[in-house]
Structure 1
Amino acid sequence: MRPTPADPEAWNAYLAEGNATQARKRVAADVILRNADGDILLVKPTCKPGWDLPGGMAEDNEAPDDAARRELREELGLDLPLQGLLVVDRVPPHGPWDDQIAFIFDGGTLDHDQVAAVNPQDEELSELAFVHPCRAGVWLRDRLSRRFDAAIAAIVTGRPRFLRDGQPTMP
């Protein structure tokens, strides 16, 4: 017999068992940051090849937007409010990785002083560059490039995008 909320101890044990057996998703949270010219900030991680958007992986039970802001503070020394959600991408299993949910948030435009002061703050990043949006896709891996293009489209239209492996699922 299934416990009911009328027996809180048994009910919580029942829910905890279900929680322990349900799938958990990895969560990535990246941020689009622009300078006054509209160029996009890209970072070069030391833990993987190529260039990336600022951001990273969420920690246990951390909200995606909190993860994005934490990563900006840790890696770039930036403490910024986010301007909104641009993209949610369901990424299927690939290589050794299970599936994940990848978010891109709008970090807005950095002022001249912020641009001048931004530098890698820890060993996770080796370089950074501001790149024109039309050229950023060449710098990014295919999957991230598609997600980036959707994020730029979301900025233009003011409408967040839902993707599956970088591909739009809705018009």
Structure 2
Amino acid sequence: MTVAPSPDDPGRDAYLAEGNAKQARKRVAADALIRDGQGRILLVNPTYKGGWDLPGGMAEENEPPEAAVRRELEEELGLAVGTLRFLCVDWVTPHGPWDDLLGFVFDAGVLEPEQIAKLSPQDEEISEHRFFELDEALKRLPDRQRARAAQALRALGDGVPRYLQNGSPLC
């Protein structure tokens, strides 16, 4: 059994770096719940997968989820958002070819009509965007995203953030 070096040992950083390199890495997604003045939900239609989705996407290496959702909104829709409020995080088990995932959802608020008029897909990943009534929006989302979005909407309503596993609340 290897004993960890003491804090003043000059080899401590190398020891810790070796341990860090062997630890599991998690994929992180960060999405935004965005509404219009009528309470409809903004969805995007990705070109690289079937079904609609909440706007957002995957975090880059060492990027915080909050920064990832801001970057994705700017890159994909040309949207700069102000304050974000955490709604939920969902640990998704490995599925298909994918390892597990931490999926965050943030409340990005209600857009003003001027902001909505300026929304436009900015890259080839998004073919279109549209606001949908709540029930219609949830129907258009794939199962995993639907469960997460439904819990995010509950958190939006009662102000209590959610910790989820595969879309179901654990706490």
- Which category describes the TM-score, using the shorter chain as reference length? over 0.9
Match of 2:4 among 2, 5, 10: 2
Identical amino acids, percent of aligned pairs: 54
Q: How does 1:75-90 map to 2 (within 5 A)?
A: 75-90=76-91
What letter corresponds to residue 6 of structure 2 in structure 1?
T
Matched, 1:15 2:28: no
SS in 1 for 2:109: strand
Cα shift readout 1:89-124 (whole Å, capped 9, x = no counterpart): 000000000001000000000001011111111111
Unaligned runs of 5+ in 1: none
| Shift in Å, 1:2 | 2.8
The equivalent of 1:62 in structure 2 is: 63
SS in 2 for 1:2: coil
| Shift in Å, 1:3 | 1.2
> 1:109 and 1:164 mapped to 2: Cα distance?
27
What letter corresponds to residue 153 of structure 2 in structure 1?
I
| Shift in Å, 1:82 | 3.4
TM-score (norm 1): 0.96
| Shift in Å, 1:83 | 2.7
Q: Any conservation in 2 of the 1:33–1:40 contact (CA below 8 Å)?
A: yes
> 1:55 and 1:82 mapped to 2: Cα distance?
15
> 1:13 and 1:160 mapped to 2: Cα distance?
38
The equivalent of 1:137 in structure 2 is: 138
The equivalent of 2:46 in structure 1 is: 45
Q: Any conservation in 2 of the 1:46–1:126 contact (CA below 8 Å)?
A: yes
SS in 2 for 1:23: coil
> 2:85 and 2:62 mapped to 1: Cα distance?
20
> 1:98 and 1:82 mapped to 2: Cα distance?
31
Q: Any conservation in 2 of the 1:89–1:166 contact (CA below 8 Å)?
A: yes
Equivalent pairs counted in the alignment come to 169
The equivalent of 2:103 in structure 1 is: 102
SS in 2 for 1:44: strand
> 1:162 and 1:4 mapped to 2: Cα distance?
36
> 1:89 and 1:163 mapped to 2: Cα distance?
4
What letter corresponds to residue 134 of structure 2 in structure 1?
P
> 2:164 and 2:4 mapped to 1: Cα distance?
37
> 1:157 and 1:98 mapped to 2: Cα distance?
32
SS in 2 for 1:71: helix
- Deviation larger for 140-149 or 74-83: 74-83
- Deviation larger for 69-78 or 81-90: 81-90
Runs of 4+ in structure 1 displaced over 6 angstroms?
none
| Shift in Å, 1:154 | 0.5
Cα shift readout 1:15-57 (whole Å, capped 9, x = no counterpart): 1011000000000000011000010000000111110000000
